[in-house]
């Protein structure tokens, strides 16, 4: 016999010992993951019915054999449909609009490792259902029972949900969970301003879809809420207890036909003892970005009412507009009455401005004499003109007051009309069916431009003859502004048109007064 030939007895003994060692290690230290059929998970006893403690096998029905069940609920202002596939909301439709708004939230749960057999599309069984609640249950191969419950109707557009994990096994389970939510809209949609918004580390973050399409973002910390902002609508998910959440990941999912965004909250890995349970609760708001609803839905959500730098004016103007609308029941008429009110409040200032313009016309001949006298000395001309204005008691800048007053109000109204869900799909009369959208026939912006030119014709501003180009600039402004207004909200065109008409009336009064 060859002395170098392997000793098969020793080899078999070594294989046996290594196998036994590996099995012992797996039994003591490795995570208990089973992918076998339920019949193979039975306790190793010949007569399991006589066992002192119930050690029945984990009865796990394959997902393919669990039927998909869907159930719809109709509440005030929306209709939501739940499905047992993922135990999530399949669709959420806002019904109080001419064209129903579909805002599918897709609340999913996934496991980050093999310690729990759970996927976002895992099928659940329908456990119970009432007029405003629904509950799904699922048992994983690791003998962890998951119960997902949804409660509707306590607050407008708010859905409260809870997720319970119950460890039915005789050993502790290590669970690593992610909470997911997604949304999408058509790529052809040009009106929506899809973005991700969240509050983490006591700071609000807002990431537009265009930025996430280029690069995903991760934020460390426990979020107060995560949400999708769709300009007039908000879809939020707020954990009631966020202490165990360690990060939020925002990303864009490549798609040829839609703008697709995804948010993921990652929980710290936790140990669920044998026979113990742990419940997570969330509050979700899916509805219009109206202050009265957001305030009731939960803390911080109102910070998504962003009107930019002019928010300090936009918010009181919106409040006043809503208050007026309660009496007239038409936001177009409310805009007209708001314009009249603003005109009354600014009347003293504009009155002084127009009076100053008329006085400038009276002293125009003397100004021409000064300009001729000091035509070759600009510095001396400026000094003489200022001395002359002071002597006559005229402020040459007073003519700029109407523009200086109107510009902040104009920008504030632009932000308010373009971002307030209260005005979305609100009609005026005739062809204007939505005040937040441009006039489809461009009638109001053209009338606005014509009225602006008429205002300049009735009381043309005094122009320094040394700067004749200013004349062309002033007459070009109505044309330029008309082209800008063609694609801006019709409500803004109505405001500017009414304001110009009121200004024309005020100018005619001033002109008649100073001419007599």
Do 389 and 511 lie in one domain? The reply is yes
Average pLDDT over residues 392-410: 68
Q: What is the pLDDT of residue 244?
A: 92
Cβ atoms of 435 and 489 closer than 8 Å: yes
Confidence of residue 390 (pLDDT cuts 50, 70, 90): confident
Residues paired with 177 in a beta bridge? 111
Non-local (6+) Cβ contacts of 209 within 8 A are 194, 195, 196, 252, 259, 261
pLDDT of residue 1: 41
275-304 pLDDT, tens digit per residue, is 999 999 999 999 999 999 999 998 899 999
- Position 292 in a domain: yes
pLDDT band at 478 (very low <50, low <70, confident <90, very high): confident
Residue that terminates a domain, selected from 306, 327, 342: 306
Q: Measured between alpha carbons, how far is 210 from 236 in angstroms, rounded to an integer?
A: 20
Q: Please tell me the least confidently modeled range out of 96-105, 183-192, 238-247.
A: 183-192
Q: Is the pLDDT of residue 495 over 70?
A: yes
Residue 495 in any domain: the answer is yes
Q: Domain containing 443: what range?
A: 311-515
Q: How high does pLDDT run on average in the chain?
A: 81
Strands in 217-220's sheet, in edge-to-edge order, are: 107-111, 177-186, 258-267, 245-252, 217-220
Q: Residue 32: which pLDDT band, with cuts at 50, 70 and 90?
A: very low
10 Å Cβ neighbour count for 282?
Answer: 22
Strand partners, 160: 151, 283
Per-residue pLDDT band for 35 (boundaries 50, 70, 90) equals: very low
Question: Is the pLDDT at 6 greater than 60, yes or no?
Answer: no
- The partner residues of 125 in beta bridges, in order of sequence, read 137
Using left for φ > 0, alpha for ψ between -120 and 50, and beta otherwise, residue 202 falls in: left
**Percentage of residues in the chain with pLDDT exceeding 90?**
48
* Burial of residue 450 (number of CB atoms within 10 Å: 0-12, 13-18, 19+): middle
Helix/strand/coil (H/E/C) assignment for every residue in 36-68? CCHHHHCCCCCCHHHCCCCCCCCCCCCHHHCCC
Q: Which of 249, 119, 235 is nearest to 185 (CA)?
A: 235
The answer to whether 192 touches 185, Cβ cutoff 8 Å, is yes
Condensed to tens digits (0 to 9), the pLDDT of residues 453-464 reads 888 887 666 555
Q: What is the 3-state secondary structure (H, E, C) of 309-361?
A: HHHHHHHHHHHHHHHHHHHHCCHHHHHHHHHHHHHHHCHHHHHHHHHHHHHHH
pLDDT at position 180 over 50: yes
Residue 514 has pLDDT above 70, yes or no: no
Residues 316 and 302 in one domain: no
Same domain, 339 and 426: yes
467 has a pLDDT exceeding 70:
no
Q: Which pLDDT value is given to residue 58?
A: 53
| Cα distances (Å, whole numbers) of residue 504 to 344, 368, 399, 454, 480 | 14, 28, 15, 8, 20
Q: What is the mean pLDDT of residues 9-18?
A: 46
Structure confidence by residue, pLDDT tens digits, 80-113: 999 999 999 999 999 999 889 988 888 999 888 8
Mean pLDDT of 361-368: 70
Distance, CA of 229 to CA of 206 (rounded, Å)? 9
β-pairing verdict for 107-111 and 177-186: antiparallel
pLDDT at 493: 93
One domain for residues 288 and 411: no
Task: State yes or no: pLDDT of 362 exceeds 80.
Answer: no
Whether residues 297 and 319 fall in one domain: no
pLDDT of residue 122: 86
21 in any annotated domain: no
Q: Within a domain: residue 418? A: yes
Label residue 461 exposed, middle or buried (CB < 10 Å: 0-12, 13-18, 19+): middle
Q: Is 357 found in the same domain as 500? A: yes
**What's the rounded mean pLDDT across residues 23-50?**
39
Q: Same domain for 366 and 244? A: no
Residues 347, 362: one domain? yes
Residue 57 maps to a domain: no
Average pLDDT over every residue of 406-412: 82
What is the pLDDT at residue 319?
Answer: 93
Q: Is residue 301 part of a domain?
A: yes
Looking at the structure of the chain, the number of domains it has is: 2
Instruction: Indicate whether 138 belongs to any domain.
Output: yes
Q: What is the pLDDT of residues 192-240, one digit of tens each?
A: 588 999 999 899 999 999 899 999 999 999 999 999 999 899 999 999 9
pLDDT at 24: 52
Give me the CATH number covering residue 243: 2.70.98.90
What local confidence, expressed as pLDDT, does residue 464 receive? Answer: 54
CB 497 within 8 A of CB 450: no
pLDDT score of 59: 57
The share of the chain scoring above pLDDT 70, in percent, equals 77
Identify the bridge partners of residue 282 per DSSP, sorted by sequence position: 161, 239
Last residue of a domain, one of 281, 306, 331: 306
Where is the domain boundary, 306, 327, 358?
306
387 and 435, same domain (yes or no)? yes
Q: Are residues 279 and 422 in the same domain?
A: no
The answer to whether residue 31 is domain-embedded is no
pTM of the entire predicted model: 0.77
**What is the structure's pLDDT at 511?**
72
pLDDT tens, residue by residue, 313-328? 999 999 999 999 999 9
Residues with Cβ within 8 Å of 382's Cβ and at least 6 positions away in sequence, in order, are none
Is the same domain home to 96 and 156? yes
| pLDDT, position 55 | 39
Say how far apart CA 109 and CA 118 lie, in whole Å: 8
Q: How many other C-beta atoms lie within 10 A of the C-beta of residue 442?
A: 17
What confidence score (pLDDT) does residue 43 get? Answer: 36
Could you tell me if 317 and 276 lie in one domain?
no
Classify burial at 271, counting beta carbons within 10 Å of its beta carbon; exposed 0-12, middle 13-18, buried 19 or more: exposed
H, E, C per residue of 178-208: EEEEEEEEECCCCCCCEEEEEEECCEEEEEE
Answer yes or no: is pLDDT of 66 > 60: yes
């Amino acid at each position: 016999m060859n002395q170098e030939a392997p000793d098969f007895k020793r080899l078999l003994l070594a294989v046996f010992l290594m196998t036994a060692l590996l099995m012992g290690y797996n039994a003591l230290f490795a995570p208990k993951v089973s992918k076998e059929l339920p019949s193979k998970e039975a306790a190793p006893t010949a007569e399991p019915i006589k066992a002192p403690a119930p050690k029945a096998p984990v009865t796990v029905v394959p997902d393919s054999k669990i039927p998909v069940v869907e159930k719809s609920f109709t509440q005030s202002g929306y209709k939501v449909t739940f499905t047992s596939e993922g135990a999530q909301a399949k669709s959420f439709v806002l019904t109080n609009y001419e064209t129903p708004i579909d805002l599918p939230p897709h609340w999913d749960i996934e496991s980050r490792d093999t310690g729990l057999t759970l996927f976002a599309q895992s099928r659940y069984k329908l456990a119970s259902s009432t007029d405003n609640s629904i509950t799904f249950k699922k048992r994983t191969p690791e003998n962890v029972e998951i119960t997902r419950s949804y409660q509707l109707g306590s607050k407008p557009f708010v859905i409260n949900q809870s997720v319970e994990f119950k460890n039915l096994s005789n050993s502790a389970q290590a669970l690593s969970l992610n909470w997911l939510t997604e949304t999408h809209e058509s790529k052809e949609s040009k009106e929506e301003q899809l973005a991700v918004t969240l509050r983490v580390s006591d700071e609000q973050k807002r990431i537009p879809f265009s930025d996430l399409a280029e690069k995903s973002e991760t934020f460390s910390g426990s979020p107060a809420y995560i949400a999708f902002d769709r300009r007039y609508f908000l879809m939020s998910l707020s954990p009631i207890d966020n202490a165990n959440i360690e990060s939020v990941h925002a990303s864009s999912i490549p798609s040829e036909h839609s703008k697709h965004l995804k948010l993921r909250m990652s929980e710290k890995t936790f140990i669920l003892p044998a026979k113990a349970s742990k419940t997570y609760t969330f509050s979700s708001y899916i509805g219009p970005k109206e202050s009265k609803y957001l305030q009731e839905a939960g803390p911080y959500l109102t910070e998504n009412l962003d009107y930019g730098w002019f928010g300090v004016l936009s918010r009181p103007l919106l409040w006043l507009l809503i208050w007026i609308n309660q009496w007239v029941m038409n936001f177009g008429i409310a805009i007209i009455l708001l314009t009249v009110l603003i005109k009354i409040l600014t009347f003293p200032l504009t009155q002084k401005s127009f009076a100053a313009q008329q006085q400038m016309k009276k002293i125009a001949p003397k100004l021409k004499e000064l300009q001729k006298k000091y035509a070759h000395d600009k510095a001396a001309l400026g000094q003489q003109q200022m001395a002359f204005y002071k002597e006559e008691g005229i402020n040459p800048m007073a003519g700029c007051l109407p523009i200086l007053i109107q510009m902040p109000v104009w920008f504030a109204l632009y932000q308010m009309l373009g971002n307030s869900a209260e005005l979305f799909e609100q009609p005026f009369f005739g062809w204007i069916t939505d005040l937040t959208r441009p006039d489809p026939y461009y009638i109001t912006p053209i009338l606005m431009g014509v009225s602006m030119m008429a205002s300049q014709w009735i009381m043309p501003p005094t122009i320094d003859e040394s700067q004749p180009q200013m004349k062309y600039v002033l007459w070009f402004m109505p044309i330029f502004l008309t082209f800008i207004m063609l694609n801006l909200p019709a409500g803004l065109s109505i405001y500017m048109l009414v304001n110009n008409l009121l200004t024309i009336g005020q100018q005619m009064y001033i002109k008649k007064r100073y001419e007599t």
